[in-house]
Amino acid sequence: NAGVTQTPKFQVLKTGQSMTLQCAQDMNHEYMSWYRQDPGMGLRLIHYSVGAGITDQGEVPNGYNVSRSTTEDFPLRLLSAAPSQTSVYFCASSYSFSTPVEQYFGPGTRLTVT
Amino acid sequence: GQNIDQPTEMTATEGAIVQINCTYQTSGFNGLFWYQQHAGEAPTFLSYNVLDGLEEKGRFSSFLSRSKGYSYLLLKELQMKDSASYLCAVERAGNNRKLIWGLGTSLAVNP
């Protein structure tokens, strides 16, 4: 199993550009989520999904869209990048949202918006 | 409100024991996770506590007191590779089990 994969690893965007961060898992996990991690802020939940076709907002959803058309994939779209979105983005998955289980994190995408 | 407090940094010596504390105040509590994160890498799961008491897993143990809103992670026989950030995360009741994350404790293990 590859686990949770994310692409790209690094990205530089100009203000106003849009892009999609890719996330895939091959563990047939039900629950997937996107976090951003900033110095002094800890991990913050952006969006999450409890199954294909179902998504919901986390703490900091503004400026981001998600979709979950398959169990495996959970892309994160930045609609119009802003410098405040400079961060490290982690995708995570777990096999259930109905019982407490560990989350498996992808390697992260380091995004800089200039 | 919701708040999780951990010390920002700690230093310890190889072979020693270190205790990393986490205190929390949240509306609704299901359980508490500890994750390890090496610099530039993703967090990885260490432990989950839902009941009061100590859970031991090899060199790592985690303790929870629900009444005191307190947890600690105990690392024994420290190794250089234990130098990392240790994240405490509280799982809230309801709300699809969302986690509230602490800022992490950066542990430096010196020879």
Mutation target for A interface from B96, B103, B105: give the one with most A CBs within 10 A: B96
Cis geometry, peptide bond prior to residue A8 (ω within 30 degrees of 0): yes
CB of B25 within 8 A of CB of B90? no
Bigger pLDDT: A98 vs A9:
A9
Q: How far apart are CA B50 and CA B32, in angstroms?
A: 6
**% chain A with pLDDT above 70:** 96
Please state the length of chain A: 114
At residue B99, the pLDDT reads: 87
Tens digits of per-residue pLDDT, A67-111?
999 999 999 999 999 999 999 999 999 987 666 678 999 999 999
At residue B74, the pLDDT reads: 98
- In angstroms, the separation between the Cα of residue B102 and the nearest Cα of chain A is 6
Within 8 A of B98 by CB-CB distance, chain A residues are: 45, 48, 58
Within 8 A of B97 by CB-CB distance, chain A residues are: 97-98, 100
Window 67-96 of B: residues touching A by CB (8 A cutoff) are: 87, 89, 91, 96
At residue B27, the pLDDT reads: 80
Positions of chain B with pLDDT lower than 50, given as ranges: none
A80-105 b/e with 16+ CB inside 10 Å = b?
A: ebeeebbbbbbbbbbeebeebbbbbb
Window 29-58 of A: residues touching B by CB (8 A cutoff) are: 40-45, 48, 50, 56, 58
